């Protein structure tokens, strides 16, 4: 109280003198400098991660290429929106990252198509050019309605990918934008799922929006809204990300357990890109950066035990069928999915930092 009272009263007691104006300007400049520094650090980390993947392109799986496309697409969108309001150095670095990520993504697509043709035929749209250029407008995150979690249902990755595939016509390319009752019921209506099942509900909707099916999803959300949502598609996004935020915060409280860090980065990446800047919490940035290895990748943590079935090449798409997307080992203890979600998470920070600088 002793400390707080004078601070609180200060603006009431003093007219805005030249001195306080200067102090305010200095604080703002300080925070601009801090923001610019944080953007530098984030771009350094992103560039190193992209370069690592690029140097090891034949040990990337399909999921590993998603992060590259996100970095490519979102840096493009950020430049399109903010280039004129950014310091020149920052804009140039964004442009450089954009082209590096794009080149790496194109090579990853060739490699993935060659090594896993069946999986690629089913899910290749997720990593096609421009797929992650979509720029979701920033929105405040509402508070999550607290609901009892469903019994942790097993998550079937194949089901999720097949539902995403419905967005495309029989040729697998032109948007048909089908949303079957089975898929809506399985992937959108449940409001008690957690973990990767929940992030993949959001992933399904983002895929639909990006496939050009916004009006179809909007109509579905109006006709069959998930419990507790208002009949708008934005309301469904809000509901999912509000609950994901509660989970991410719980992971922080638990001290970021090693087996959950991959999920945590996926949460920050997906909801961050879906337009919720709150996910790029300032205090989580040093945490994410501390998980990066000197070679630029993100990998196994010391003492972490990863379920071997996550790597089972006999399962669909090289990934564990339940709960989590495919993991694949890369050289030097690095992991493909993990590096990809880290790139997604850092890209969400990149967006928030750029928007803060351009503000």
Q: List interacting residues with ligand NAG (CB under 6 A).
A: 176-178, 215-216
Neighbours of 358 (CB within 10 A): 15
Minimum distance between the CB of residue 232 and ligand NAG, rounded to whole angstroms? Answer: 16
Query: Residue 253: which residues within 8 A CB-CB, separation 6 or more?
Result: none
Minimum distance between the CB of residue 212 and ligand NAG, rounded to whole angstroms? Answer: 9
- Give the residues across from 322 on adjacent strands: 156
Q: Which lies closer to ligand NAG via its Cβ, residue 216 or residue 310?
A: 216
Distance CA 354, CA 339 (A): 22
Q: Which of 193, 164, 161, 159 is nearest to 178 (CA)?
A: 164
Q: Which lies closer to ligand NAG via its Cβ, residue 42 or residue 220?
A: 220
Task: Give yes or no for a contact between 98 and 149, defined as CB atoms under 8 angstroms apart.
Answer: no
Q: Which lies closer to ligand NAG via its Cβ, residue 176 or residue 186?
A: 176
Distance CA 131, CA 153 (A): 29
Residue count of the chain: 359
Task: Give yes or no for a contact between 293 and 334, defined as CB atoms under 8 angstroms apart.
Answer: yes
Distance CA 12, CA 160 (A): 57
The two three-digit tokens of residue 166, written as one number: 């419905």
Which residue number is nearest to ligand NAG in terms of Cβ?
216
Minimum distance between the CB of residue 211 and ligand NAG, rounded to whole angstroms? Answer: 11
Minimum distance between the CB of residue 150 and ligand NAG, rounded to whole angstroms? Answer: 28
Minimum distance between the CB of residue 216 and ligand NAG, rounded to whole angstroms? Answer: 4
Q: Which lies closer to ligand NAG via its Cβ, residue 106 or residue 178?
A: 178
Q: Which lies closer to ligand NAG via its Cβ, residue 114 or residue 185?
A: 185
- HSE-CB for 245 with a 13 A CA cutoff: 23
Distance CA 134, CA 1 (A): 48
Minimum distance between the CB of residue 187 and ligand NAG, rounded to whole angstroms? Answer: 16
Q: Which lies closer to ligand NAG via its Cβ, residue 213 or residue 297?
A: 213
């Amino acid at each position: 109280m002793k400390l707080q009272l004078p601070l609180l009263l200060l603006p009431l007691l003093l007219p805005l003198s030249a001195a306080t104006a200067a102090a305010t300007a200095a604080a703002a400049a300080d925070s601009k400098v801090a923001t610019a520094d944080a953007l530098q650090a984030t771009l350094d980390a992103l560039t190193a991660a992209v370069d690592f993947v690029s140097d090891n392109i034949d040990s990337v799986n399909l999921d590993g290429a998603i992060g590259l496309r996100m970095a490519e697409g979102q840096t493009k969108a950020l430049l399109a929106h903010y280039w004129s309001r950014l310091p020149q150095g920052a804009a140039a670095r964004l442009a450089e990252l954009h082209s590096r990520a794009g080149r790496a993504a194109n090579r990853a697509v060739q490699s993935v198509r060659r090594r896993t043709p069946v999986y690629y035929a089913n899910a290749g749209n997720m990593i096609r050019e421009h797929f992650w250029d979509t720029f979701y407008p920033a929105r405040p995150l509402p508070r999550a309605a607290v609901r009892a979690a469903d019994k942790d249902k097993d998550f079937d990755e194949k089901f999720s990918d097949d539902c995403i595939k419905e967005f495309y016509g029989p040729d697998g390319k032109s948007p048909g934008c089908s949303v079957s009752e089975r898929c809506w019921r399985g992937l959108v209506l449940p409001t008690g799922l957690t973990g990767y099942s929940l992030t993949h509900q959001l992933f399904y909707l983002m895929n639909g929006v990006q496939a050009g099916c916004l009006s179809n999803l909007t109509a579905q959300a109006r006709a069959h809204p998930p419990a507790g949502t208002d009949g708008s598609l934005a309301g469904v996004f809000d509901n999912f990300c509000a609950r994901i935020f509660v989970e991410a915060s719980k992971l922080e409280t638990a001290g970021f357990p090693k087996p959950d860090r991959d999920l945590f980065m996926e949460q920050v990446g997906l909801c961050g890109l879906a337009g919720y800047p709150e996910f790029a919490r300032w205090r989580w940035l040093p945490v994410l950066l501390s998980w990066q290895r000197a070679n630029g990748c993100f990998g196994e943590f010391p003492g972490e035990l990863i379920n071997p079935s996550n790597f089972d090449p006999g399962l669909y798409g090289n990934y564990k069928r339940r709960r989590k997307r495919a993991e694949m080992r890369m050289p030097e203890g690095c992991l493909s999915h993990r590096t990809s979600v880290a790139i997604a998470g850092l890209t969400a920070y990149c967006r928030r930092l750029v928007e803060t600088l351009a503000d």
